[in-house]
A and B are shown apart, each in its own frame.
Chain A
Amino acid sequence: MKRIVLIFTAVLVVVLAALFLYNRGDDYSAEKLYYRALKANNRIMENPDVAPPKMVEYVKESLNRVIERYPDTVAASSARMTLAEFYMNRDEYDEAQEALAAILEADKEKRGILSKARFFKGVLYERQGDWESALKEYEILKDEFADTTLGLQMPLYIGRHYLAEEMVEKAAQSFAEARFFYENLSRENEGTVMGYAARTLLTETYMVLEDYEKAGMQLEKILDEYPGDQTYLQVLPKVEIVYMQKISRPEKMRLIYRKVIEKTNSDEIKDILEKKLEELEEVE
């Protein structure tokens, strides 16, 4: 009996060892190591001021280990980004710059990651008070990464920066550029996700500028150009803010509700909008 148990145990150990050895260095191993580092990093982020130095070292070492041991994996790309964020959050700017440079070198093909690294580079300059260098990064993002979420947001981001700094002229110039940028993009990419995102950001630009008439027009254009329940659910609350809260245009609101009721296939949306129409009429 003992012999049989021993044989069973030996078989289990051998199979386990073989599976481990066969898979040593694969993506999954990298994911495991990265997960542990990320978990410790999240714990540090909860309360960075009292993070034990050992834990901080552990995160650094583990992330570097993922990058060194499994350089071509998805986990390594994520580890490089986490390491950069880790240094940024600890205000270790030189190390953060190095980590970001490593991303720009290693993840040349991954536009999403590259755009994030460029953005972080800009943020890093901003934190060091070097707006000009930051702006250069943001301009690169705007010009070369307009197809990414971050790249697309840059014109608005730059304008908002000037607005926050109360640099009125610069802000006006930036917002004018942003309007032009988004208008062009939304026209050139009509009917695509990119076009939808550009039109949404154009609306936001008008909202920041408090030009609600034009913001409302853009929202109506979105409803016309991108009909669909998802669009209605996303856009109608914004239309309500513009036409009901910012500028009083209940007749426009009623018209839009009726249009959407006609177009939508969702009974739920129809019911909600019909109720809203009734409420609007009651108020009037």
Chain B
Amino acid sequence: MKKISVKQVWLDAFEVITRHPIVLLPFFIVAFLELLALEFIVFIPRKPLSLLFEPIIKKFFGEMFMHYPFFMEKVPKIFYAAQILLYVVLGVALSGIAVNIVRNLKAKLPLKTNALIGNALRKYISFIIYGVIIVTLVHLVRRADTWAFGLLMRKAVQALPGLRTEIVSLAFALFFFITNVVLQIFFILTVPVIVIRNKFVVKALWESIVLGLKNFFGIGVMIGVPYLLYLPVSVLKAYSSQLGAKTLPEITIFIIAGGVVLAAFVDCFITVSAARFLLEKEGAR
């Protein structure tokens, strides 16, 4: 079987994006909705949104978090919840549309908006199930990471009593980044398999895991390197509360917004790369 070069996949993905920027549109839509959600979240303690959200904030976080600057501490948490919702309801389906665009471009088929949306709607249940599974997995990985990292840190602190908390935060951001990339190796091809191979989610998940196992390092490099671009944002997020205390609490909002914009490009590149990778596999078969 023909070996697929990661470099070639990247070059192809880059060419697709530059020649057909329409493939970016699904990711821009997600970014737009996330930024819109962020704007509304920032205004939750103020009217008219406070009328709806004040009881919720008070119940979950306490009265003081309806006030500045305490509310700013909760913005990342609330935004994360909104992001998960958007990802499950729309994000996966839109990346499915992006994969469809890549497939049509490769097959030299026309890009018809109605057909693209129709195809995505037909597979919507699969997308939703995949979204829920991946969100649950990321959550579980995070908890496992926290537990494992806590264990590791306890040992590290015993060995190095002067270990600074800033370094611990940085180490955790890196630790979570690596485990997240490893997780993605097994699941990144699920959406391309659903769209390109026309499989239901369970089978697509299985095929993605098998492909991940067979091409562990190839896929690892293919997605890990572009994800590195997002690493500074992850590190900044880990330090956002310290940064906020030194500058202004609003810095959190700018970090989140920057992350959303960057993620649109990085996610697009990774999704197109994954689609190209699978199409190459299909060709090789």
List residues of chain A with CB under 8 Å of any chain B CB. 1, 4-5, 8, 11-12, 15-16, 19, 22-23, 26, 28, 31-32, 35-36
Contacts and interface: CB of A to CB of B under 8 A. Distances in A.
Nearest to A13: B39
A28 B46 contact: yes
Interface string B14-27: 00000001101100
B16 to A, nearest CB: 14
A19 B25 contact: no
A35 B39 contact: no
A153 B45 CA distance: 37
Interface string B108-147: 0000000000000000000000000000000000000000
A16 B40 CA distance: 8
B32 A35 contact: no
Contacts of B35: 12
B28 A28 contact: no
B69 A23 contact: no
Nearest to B69: A35
Interface of B: 21-22, 24-25, 28, 32, 35-36, 39-40, 43, 45-48, 67-69, 248-249
Contact of A26 (B25, B39, B40, B47): B47
Contacts of A15: 36, 39-40
Contacts of A32: 68-69
A3 B24 CA distance: 13
Given A4-B28, A32-B68, A23 B39 contact: no
A1 B32 contact: no
Contact of B22 (A1, A11, A12, A28): A1
B32 A8 contact: yes
A2 to B, nearest CB: 9
A36 B249 CA distance: 10
Nearest to A33: B68
Contact of A1 (B24, B45, B46): B24
B41 to A, nearest CB: 11
A36 to B, nearest CB: 8
Contacts of B32: 8, 11-12
Contacts of A8: 28, 32
B68 A35 contact: yes
Contacts of B45: 28
B21 A19 contact: no
A1 B268 CA distance: 15
A201 to B, nearest CB: 29
A62 to B, nearest CB: 14
Contacts of B48: 22
A131 to B, nearest CB: 39
A5 B67 CA distance: 34
Contacts of B249: 35
Nearest to A12: B35
A12 B46 contact: no
B36 A12 contact: yes
Contacts of A11: 32, 36
5 tightest A-B contacts by CB?
A: A31-B68, A8-B32, A23-B46, A19-B43, A1-B21
Contact of A22 (B39, B47, B67, B248): B47
A16 B39 CA distance: 6
Nearest to B248: A36
A34 to B, nearest CB: 8
30 contacts: A1-B21, A1-B22, A1-B25, A4-B25, A4-B28, A5-B28, A11-B32, A11-B36, A12-B35, A12-B36, A12-B39, A15-B36, A19-B39, A19-B40, A19-B43, A22-B47, A22-B48, A23-B43, A23-B46, A26-B46, A26-B47, A28-B45, A28-B46, A28-B67, A28-B68, A31-B67, A31-B69, A35-B69, A35-B249, A36-B248
